[in-house]
Amino acid sequence: MQRCGCVPLWLVGSVLLTCSTSGIGAHQDSRPEPPSETTANQSHAEQGHGSSAITGIPVVTFKWHHVETPYLVAVWILVAGLAKLVIEANHHVTEVIPESALLICFGFILGGIIWGADMVQTFKLNPTVFFFYLLPQIILDTGYSMPNKLFFGNLGAILVYAVIGTVWNAASLGLSLWGCHQGGAMGQLDIGLLQYLLFGSLIAAVDPVAVIAVFEQVHVNEVLFILVFGESLLNDGVTVVLFNVFDAFVSLGGPGINAVEIIKGIISFFVVAFGGSFLGLAFGLLISLLTKVTQNIKIIEPAFVFVLGYLAYLTAEMLSLSSILSITFCGVSCQKYINANMDENSVNTVRYVMKVFANGSETIIFVFLGISAIDKEIWVWNTGFILLTLFFIFVYRIIGVFFLTWILNRYRLVPVEFIDQVIMSYGGLRGAVAYGLAALLNESKIKEKNLMICTTLLVVYFTVILQGITMKPLVKWLKVKKASVSELTLIEKLQDKVFDHMLVAIEDVSGQIGHNYMRDKWNQFEERWMKRILMKKSARKSRDQVFKVFHRLNLKDAMNYVAEVKYIQITQKCVWYTLDITRQAGIKGGRRLDKASPLVSTLQGERRGSLEFVRNETAFIDFKKKFVDDLPDITAGMSDDHTAASSMGRIDQVPSVSLEMHEQNMKGVRQMEDINTHHLLQQHLYKGRKQHRHRYSRSHFNVNKDEDEVQEIFQRTMRNRLESFKSAKMGVSQPKKISKHAKKDQLQKVPNGKSTDNSKRYLAGDEDFQLSEGDASGFGASGGSYPFPMMVSYRAGAGIENPAYIPDLDPMAAKIPPWLAQAELDGEPVAPSQRAQLRMPSDLSRLAPLRISARSNDSFAQADAPAARQRDDEAPAPSKRGGHNV
């Protein structure tokens, strides 16, 4: 509701905005000024600058004409951005009507307002602006994020559609329109056959911008997507050639055309298409080479990608080659290498900026397409011409797609299915490229230019709005195979690799040189030469796909870990409060504490299970109920040992007494605990000594960090981890025994002069300590923090006199490796069934290598690797045993 309310408000705002921008030039009373308003402004501006006689120093001068052009550009970008903001805020609308259609409609409204104010369309989509400033970044972005394997795997089909399909569209449309004209369907029009063909060629091409905009929202399967999308990108070469050739033919006139000219035209197609592509490849390689050596200027290295990409486009334009093909292949060829060569920050920057540019200019294009319509000048209505064009475009697209697919299916390994063909033919969207080309037509040679522009616009609206809106229901209705939405899992990635190698092998065995064989050879070539030349040495390693997925999973894991650590601090606090309350209430002795310890373990289980628990405000209050209810939730998505842990919690019901205490005090606690945690983190995350140097640098990000500081943090963390590693080594051999000793030691270690009550407290504290130790290494690894002090301050709050004593309190506990410590914690107090106890070590040892290796990716690999190996050696045996058990 609130969202909807925004729209009228926004409209009023935009009215004001446009009035102020356009109205200043042509004062609000809107007298019918000549159309050459801008030139009038220009001369006015010059006068203003000449500023004849200065009578005094003006305090404020209003110099609109001084800033007009950049100001208007900036305002338009802002308007387009705000339009998108408003449109995207209404999800229920964008689900039905694609964003591109909405933007065009918004353009209509805006155009109407401008028209109302000026009585002339001041702002139109100008071909120069479109082709030079709006289109390149969109195409560069698509090229850069092109799924290469898919694209090249279907290149043959894409080329057939792009080349033959486009030629077919152009020729059939031109000829049919001409035929209808001859038949007298359009009345009196001054258009010859060549003009018709020219018109056909400009409107034949499927538009990449429109296609992306619509297909992005319907997630069709990837093969279908790449076919439509690839076609829309690659047919530009054909369009440019056809357009140029027919334009030349029109200038030459009918008799000037002979066989030589036609052959020249065909040759020029190959030159334009392949020349453009190779130029793009060359620029792509240049970018790759350049990024190999830019490690010292990290800040500006993303700029190279954009500038060189743009240069690829301009160079192609200069040489009259296909600029779209050029920039596409530039993006396609460099993506792999620049992603590997550049710093991760730079890669993200490139990605992000690319998207900002592409999305921004896409928005502007659609808005302007809408605005361009509101212009009396271009509206020349000719029912026959317009309707026939719409009809023929639609019909010939279908015929073309079905015929070409029929031929292709005879050769394709995996045939394109019928419904896919339907979507393909329906997805023949025309867009701004056609409009730009139409606007480029020479009015002196083509008398009916305005009719053509008008028809082109109508075709664009028809395809983008109507077909765009109906695309989604159609896809749903035909049950087109959709792309899988889920993230690629590691095992799938591995399976992909298996496929690759297997298919090559089978081809080898069957003695054929097929697609896979070629790809394999290319991969080998690339591995051997391209990578060596174009990639940094250090970058070659992390390029592997499987490794990337693995790395990503690890990162996620680590992030979860940090989140959990934060959570466990809160949980521990709760436990401490409970214990505190228990003591204050005068309930003494071990009984209460013993009962409290399952609580620790259940919380522990909860911690691993779902973090949802944290967010739920009432979670603590009816903890018991929730715990039982939530069990399926908790267990979902957890691996074996986790499950074991939390299920044990189920066996022992949470004691209700301590929970009641909880209930009473929880509210106050929760208010405090956020502040406290924050404070603690602030206090104890390690900071360098010289932290308050704020320096500014344009060329480095982390200028405020000192080399030594990093070093110091590293060393501290390293020491910390080394300690836990050492203990891991000791702890592995006899985990159970040690943990029992730890308990006993604990009791003996009680300092003199303390009451038994306090000794019990230490016992509980011991658990607390272990618990955090388990997390500490994880936290230290990912956050580089120093976890011990945190624990200290908790104790302090709970009434322990000497916080400094705590870290040394329990040397044995520290010797227990994190995973075993947790197992012990889970296992000891609740005393699981005999069988579960038997089983647990094997489960854990299965998990252990993963946990460790998950961390071994960071800089502490050396420290953990031996431990990992040690665990690995043990792992197979128990897993075998378990396998026979079940």
**Interface with another protein in residues 532-571 (CB under 8 A):** 540-544, 546-547, 550, 553
Segment interacting with another protein, rule: CB under 8 A, options 391-399, 493-501, 730-738, 770-778: 493-501
**Does 693 engage in binding with another protein (CB under 8 A)?**
no
Q: Cβ closer to another protein: 309 or 778?
A: 778
Can you give the length of the chain in residues? 886
d(CA 356, CA 804): 52
Residues 6 or more apart whose CB falls under 8 angstroms from that of 418 comprise none
Piece of the chain touching another protein by CB under 8 A; list 118-126, 387-395, 513-521, 583-591: 513-521
501 binds another protein (CB under 8 A): yes
Residue placing its CB nearer to another protein in the complex, 32 or 511: 511
> Closest separation between CB of residue 640 and another protein, Å?
5
Q: Return contacts of 559-566, CB within 8 angstroms, 24+ apart.
A: 559/782, 560/611, 561/775, 561/778, 561/779, 561/782, 562/778, 562/779, 562/782, 562/783, 563/611, 564/607, 564/608, 564/611, 564/775, 565/775, 565/778, 565/779, 566/677, 566/681
User: Per CB under 8 A, does 511 bind another protein?
Assistant: yes
Residues 803-832 binding another protein (CB under 8 A) are: 832
**Tokens 């401490």, residue?**
576
Residues 613-632 that bind another protein (CB under 8 A): 632
Cβ-based nearer residue to another protein, 375 or 630: 630
Tell me the closest approach of the beta carbon of residue 836 to another protein, in angstroms: 4
Q: Which of 482, 515, 626, 726 binds another protein (CB under 8 A)?
A: 515
Stretch that binds another protein, among 25-33, 72-80, 464-472, 488-496 (CB under 8 A): 488-496
Q: Which residue has the tokens 């005879």?
A: 410
The verdict on 480 binding another protein (CB under 8 A) reads no
State the nearest-atom distance from the C-beta of 885 to another protein, in Å.
7
Helix axes 193-204, 222-252, angle to 10 degrees: 150
* Three-state DSSP class for residue 669: helix
User: ∠ at Cα 360 (357, 365), nearest 5°?
Assistant: 120
- In the complex, what is the shortest distance from the CB of residue 151 to another protein, in angstroms, rounded to a whole number? 15
- 673-702 burial, b if ≥16 CB within 10 A, otherwise e? beebbeebeeebeeebeeeeeeeeeeeeee
**844 lines the binding site for another protein (CB under 8 A):** no
Q: Distance between CA atoms of 159 and 94, rounded to whole angstroms?
A: 33
Q: Other C-beta atoms within 10 Å of 834: how many?
A: 8
Residues contacting another protein: total by CB under 8 A: 87
In contact, 815 and 760? CB cutoff 8 Å: no
Which of 67, 506, 559, 710 touches another protein by CB under 8 A? 506
In sequence order, what are the residues at sequence separation of 6 or more whose Cβ sits closer than 8 angstroms to the Cβ of residue 653?
Answer: 624
Nearer to another protein, 320 or 857 (CB): 857
3-class secondary structure, 220: strand
Minimum distance from CB of 599 to another protein (Å)? 19
CB of 508 to another protein, least distance (A): 4
Please report whether residue 839 would count as binding another protein according to CB under 8 A. Answer: yes
Nearer Cβ to another protein (181/531): 531
Smallest distance from another protein to CB 862, Å: 11
Q: 408 to 427, contacts with another protein by CB under 8 A?
A: 409-411, 413-415, 417-418
> Does residue 762 contact residue 746 with C-beta atoms inside 8 Å?
yes
Q: Say whether residue 873 binds another protein (CB under 8 A).
A: no
Least distance CB 143 / another protein (angstroms): 24
Q: In angstroms, rounded to a whole number, what is the distance separating the alpha carbons of residues 497 and 493?
A: 7
User: What is the rounded CA–CA span in Å between residue 504 and residue 487?
Assistant: 26
Among 83, 451, 504, 728, interactor with another protein by CB under 8 A: 504
Which CB sits closer to another protein, 668 or 876?
Answer: 876
As measured in angstroms, the least distance from the Cβ of 531 to another protein is 11
Minimum distance of another protein from residue 652's CB (angstroms):
13
User: Cβ of 71: how many Cβ atoms within 10 Å?
Assistant: 13
Site residues (CB under 8 A) for another protein, limited to 140-169: none
Question: Which of positions 221-250 make contact with another protein (CB under 8 A)?
Answer: 221-223
* Residues 246, 256: Cα–Cα separation, whole Å: 12
Nearer to another protein, 191 or 852 (CB): 852
State in angstroms the smallest separation of the CB of 833 from another protein.
7
* Interactions with another protein, residue window 634-653 (CB under 8 A): 635-640, 643-644, 647-648
For 452-480, give one letter per residue: b (16+ CB within 10 A) or e: bbbbbbbbbbbbbbebbbebbebbeeeeb
Is residue 328 within 8 A of residue 233, CB to CB? The reply is yes
CA separation for the pair 561, 154 (Å, rounded): 42
Taking the C-alpha atoms of residue 460 and residue 474, their distance in angstroms, rounded to an integer, is: 19
**Shortest Cβ distance from residue 526 to another protein (Å)?**
13
Q: What part of residues 852-871 is at the interface with another protein (CB under 8 A)? A: 853-854, 856-857, 865, 868-869
In terms of CB distance, is 209 or 558 closer to another protein? 558
- Rounded CA-CA distance 449/251 in Å is 15
Stretch that binds another protein, among 130-138, 356-364, 507-515, 608-616 (CB under 8 A): 507-515
Q: How far is the CB of 603 from another protein (least distance, A)?
A: 18
> How far apart are the C-alpha atoms of 242 and 25, rounded to whole Å?
41
Contact 731, 815 (CB under 8 A): yes
Which is nearer to another protein, 107 or 778 (by Cβ)? 778
Min dist CB 829 to another protein, Å, is 15
With respect to another protein, which residue has the nearer C-beta, 496 or 712?
496
Neighbours of 225 (CB within 10 A): 21
d(CA 828, CA 747): 16
205-224 positions binding another protein, by CB under 8 A: 221-223
Q: Minimum CB separation from another protein for residue 149, in Å?
A: 11
Of the candidate residues 33, 48, 850, 870, the single one contacting another protein (CB under 8 A): 850
Residues 6+ apart with CB under 8 A from 774: 818, 819, 821, 822, 825
The answer to whether residue 479 forms part of the interface with another protein (CB under 8 A) is: no
Q: How far is the CB of 215 from another protein (least distance, A)?
A: 18
Please give the Cα distance from 224 to 420 (Å, whole number): 6
DSSP SS3 for 372: helix
